[in-house]
Amino acid sequence: MDAETAHGATITALRLGLAPEQSHPDGAELRTTLCGLDLTNPIGMAAGFDKNAEVPRPLALMGFGMVEIGTVTPRPQAGNPRPRLFRIGSAEGVINRMGFNNEGHDAAFARLKGQRIPAALGVNIGANKDSDDFVLDYVLGVRRFADLADYLTVNVSSPNTPGLRNLQADEALRRLLGEVLAARAKAKTRVPVFLKIAPDLDEAALDALAAVVLATDLDGLIVSNTTIARDAVAGLENASETGGLSGKPLFDLSTRRLAQTRQRVGALPIIGVGGIHSPQSALAKVQAGANAIQLYSAMVFGGLDMLDQLKRGLVAAVRAEGKTNISEIVGTQVDDWAAGRARLN
C-alpha cells in the first residue's frame, strides 16, 4: 500500500476505536515529571502522526505518556504534491516532504476543545508556507492553543518549508522566542514551550542556539527533527527522494546531537526523538540526556506493540542499574554519545 494511504488507514482505524487499549497501569519506574507535567511514562507519540488532532485520545489509551498533534498552521494548507512519503524498507527509514499539510488552527482547536485526554497533550505549531511573517504565525499558534494544550512545540526545523530552518539562527531565533514567550505570558496559564531543532546543526550552530535559548525562559528542547543527510541510506531505494529522513537511519545522528545539546544546556528539559526502534535505542536516548522520548516512524515497521516493548525494556533497564526510577539514569552516557564513542549494543 502507498505509504500515505497506509497512514490514513491507520488514523481511520484509531478513530473507529480499533486500536488496542493498555490493560495495565505503567510501572512506578516509568513515572516522571517533565516541565511540571506528571507523566505515567516518558514515551510520547511524536508530531507528524496525528496532524489534525483526530486521534489523541485513542493514542493516549494505547499507553503513550504524551501525545503531540500537528504540525498545525494558522491557515489550512494542502502541503506538497503527492507522492511525498516514502519508505526505505531495508533500512527501516522513512523520507517525507509532506510540507505541513493540515486543516489549520480552527479545525484542530474544534476537535481538541472539551476532550479528556489521559496523557500530556502537546500541540506542535508551525508557519504557513506562503506567510509574510513566519514569526507571527507562531505567535498566532500560541494564542490559539496556550490555554488548551499541556505543552506547545515551536517547530522551526522541518526541511520541507523553504526558509523555515533559518529561524534557528541567532537574531531570527531571538526574535522568534521573544515574541512566542511574550504571547505565552499573556495566556491564562503558563503552558510549557519547547523548541524542536534539526539534527543537521553543527556544533558551532548548537553553541549559538544554546546561548540564545538559555537567555530566555524557554522550557525545553526537542532533539531532533528529520535530517536532510543521506549518508546512512546512500544507494538504497527511495534514498534520493527530497525531504526529511526519519526512522532507524536517523538514530546515531540525532542521538549524538541530543547529547551535544545536553552538554550545552545543563538541566534544561529535553525530549529525545529520532530513530527509536527498540528498547535498547530508547534506553540510549535516555542515557544520552533525554528526560522523555518520542517516536513515530519506527511504528511503521515495528507495529503498535512496540510501545509495550519499549516500556518493558526501560523498566528492566532501571532495575538492572539498581535504580527505582527512570529519571535516575538520564544522562549517564552523555559524554560518550556526544563524542561518538557510544553505540547500541
Cα–Cα distance, 287 to 18 (Å, whole number): 35
Cα–Cα distance, 323 to 74 (Å, whole number): 45
Residue burial 274-283, b: 16+ Cβ < 10 Å; e: rest:
bbbbbbebbb
**DSSP letter at 83?**
P
- Which residues are annotated as catalytic? 158
Please report how the helices 203-214 and 170-185 are oriented relative to each other, as an axis angle in degrees rounded to 10.
Answer: 30
Cα–Cα distance, 67 to 60 (Å, whole number): 7
Closest Cα partner for 219 from 256, 177, 263, 158? Answer: 177
Which residues, other chains included, contact 12 with Cβ-Cβ below 8 Å and sequence gap of 6+?
Answer: none
Closest Cα partner for 225 from 207, 206, 242, 245? Answer: 245
